[in-house]
Amino acid sequence: MLSALIWVPVLGAVFIALLPESLVARTRQIALAIASAVGIWTIILASQFDVGIPGLQFQESLPWIESLGLTYQLGIDGLSMPLILINSLLVWIAIYASDPNINRPRLYYVLMLVLGGAVAGAFVAQNLLLFFLFYEVELIPLYLVIAIWGGARRGYAATKFLIYTAASGVLILAAFFGLAIISETNSFDYDVVQSQVLPLTTQLLLLIPLVVGFGIKIPVVPFHTWLPDAHVEAPTPASVLLAGVLLKLGTYGLLRFGLGLFPEAWTEIAPWLAWIAVLSVLYGSFAAIAQTDMKKIVAYSSVGHMGYIILASAVATPLSLTGTVAQMISHGLISALLFLLVGVVYSKTGTRDINVLRGLLNPERGLPLIGSLMVVGAMASAGIPGMVGFVAEFIVYRGSLPAFPLQTLLCMVGTGLTAVYFLILINRVFFGRLPESLANLPRIRWQDRLPSIIVTVLVIVLGIQPSWMLRWSNVTIQAMGMEEVNRLVQVESESTRLAETVGDSESVRRLVESTETVPLTSMTNPNSIAFTPGKEAASDKSTEPLGDRLIDNSLPHSKLKPNI
């Protein structure tokens, strides 16, 4: 079932590449049909996904190159399901929003479909080498799209993107091979390597290159410089996919392979990650204020908003990880919307300079609908209540404040700065008198408005009903670390180590002796995981959230291995 997400677009790309010249004019329609089929299949998978199961579903496993430990192992859980949905949606939107008269259409749509299939493969891969293969494959199509259909400095931007992303891949591959060598296992299957118990020093040696590698992809400051250049020179559909999906490969990789494989080392570097998040948020915000190019403003906004994801990931409680998933979805939709709208403005006016543009909200001669949607996108990015951005940032702050109060407060400043640079953009571009040079702009067809309208509706609906975007991930997030806890509470010899984490040896030892299971409770509260005690059921602590009873929410990066 999951293979269809990968191979339908790839085989569709092969089909398009082999089209005869007489059908080249229909390339866009064929690519759109293929993307629609993948989208429908993704919806079917989401409808059949059991939200009550925290582990992998729809698993596929085939031997491949066993001598290298490479197997074709796929699976999907609550962490990857929302990202698969976002990927399928944005690939369809990117193809739909592409210029119908684009040069070399066969090559363009082949690259877009391969890009979508590779990203889907990375999200469902359950073998480290298989993940790396998909992670590297997506580099090639995006590089070519920027280099061929980009702006005036496309060569520079594409080369810079290639160098940074290649460096990211080298670091990640080095960590994967180091893990296999040190653990003395011939398998790169995720469940096998996750079961390995490694010393803290070894975990740190392997985690640091992973953090840097995925940090380049996210990107975090100071590895961010490739992103604004890539966004500015890339065509609008490529920017939509880059901001909406590809950056999430970095945050997904951090959670899956960083926190999931090296939890004790994650504990040690969590404060550093929190400060990196602060740096990214504040630098991205101040840099956005200084820009005059609309696309660069949105690009630096992405740098800042990805910092919120890093902050919540560093905390690593069920609540903060819920914020991580919410922010990934939120940023994916909002950034896609903003880049779509900036693309429309540029195509109609020929400029993105906020010092040149004026009065585009003019109802008669301007772009009133585009301006209205841009206001909605700016409000969502600034975290205005009623929008998906508010929900995501609120959960991030609520989950992060107990562990890192200073860093969280500084990131809140970034939210205020977001409002500043978007107010500057909206005020200069859409209000005021429309200059004669921009008067009587070409009318926008309803087909051109459709992608932006679809994303805007999602931004508003998910802001009003956020449980719809978190329903797949709640149980998976709640279950992070629970398997390890179950094993610990059954082993008396581990009670002392567990007590040292909490600080009360005797009370934890009694808890260990009386505990039978760790059930998953209400999905509506991602932090409401409680033990079901045995003989001590009368204890008033039995209904406290796990974060309060066993793993102090203020010290959430516990030494328990998450079941990611």
- DSSP of 522-542, one letter per residue? -TTSTT----EESTTTT-GGG
Q: In 10 A of CB 17, how many CB atoms?
A: 14
Give the whole-angstrom CA distance, residue 183 versus residue 190. 13
Cα separations (Å) of 443 from 101, 152, 156, 193, 294?
Answer: 18, 26, 34, 57, 21
Task: State how far the alpha carbon of 214 is from the alpha carbons of 165, 250, 254, 318, 404, in Å.
Answer: 9, 5, 6, 22, 22
- CA nearest 225: which of 293, 287, 137, 282? 287
Reading the chain (564 residues) residue by residue, the pLDDT tens digits are: 899 999 999 999 999 999 988 888 899 999 999 999 999 999 999 999 998 888 899 999 999 988 888 999 999 999 999 999 999 999 999 999 999 889 999 999 999 999 999 999 999 999 999 999 999 999 999 999 999 999 999 999 999 999 999 999 999 999 999 998 888 777 899 988 888 888 999 999 999 999 999 999 999 999 999 999 999 999 999 999 999 999 999 999 999 999 999 999 999 999 999 999 999 999 999 999 999 999 999 999 999 999 999 999 999 999 999 999 999 999 999 999 999 999 999 988 889 999 999 888 887 777 889 999 999 999 999 999 999 999 999 999 999 999 999 999 999 999 999 999 999 999 999 998 888 777 777 778 877 889 999 999 999 999 999 988 899 998 888 876 443 333 333 333 444 444 444 444 444 444 434 433 333 333 333 333 333 333 333 334 333 433 333 334 444 444 444 445
Residue 63 β-bridge partners: 71
**H-state helical runs in 50-183:** 81-96, 105-124, 128-137, 139-149, 154-183
What per-residue confidence (pLDDT) applies to 546? Answer: 34
Q: Give the whole-angstrom CA distance, residue 24 versus residue 335.
A: 31
Rounded (5°) CA angle 145-151-154: 60
Contact between residue 373 and residue 456 where contact means Cβ atoms under 8 Å apart: yes
Res 514: pLDDT: 41
Give φ, ψ of 65 to 5 degrees.
-110, 85
Q: Find the distance separating the first CA and the last CA of the chain, reported in whole Å.
A: 21
Q: In this predicted structure, what is the pLDDT of residue 441?
A: 76
For residue 198, give both structure tokens.
Answer: 């490694």
pLDDT at 432: 83
Nearest one of 537, 56, 560 to 318, comparing CA atoms: 560
- Count of residues making up the chain: 564
Q: Are 151 and 232 in contact (CB under 8 A)?
A: yes
Q: Which residue has the tokens 């929190």?
A: 274
Q: Residue 466 and residue 473: Cα distance in Å, rounded? A: 12
SS (H, E, C) 81-118: HHHHHHHHHHHHHHHHCCCCCCCCHHHHHHHHHHHHHH
- The two tokens of residue 157 are 């931007």
**For residues 97 and 237, is the Cβ–Cβ distance under 8 A?**
yes
Cα–Cα distance list, 293 to 218, 296, 335, 440 (Å):
22, 5, 15, 23
Query: What is the pLDDT, as a whole number, of residue 564?
Result: 54
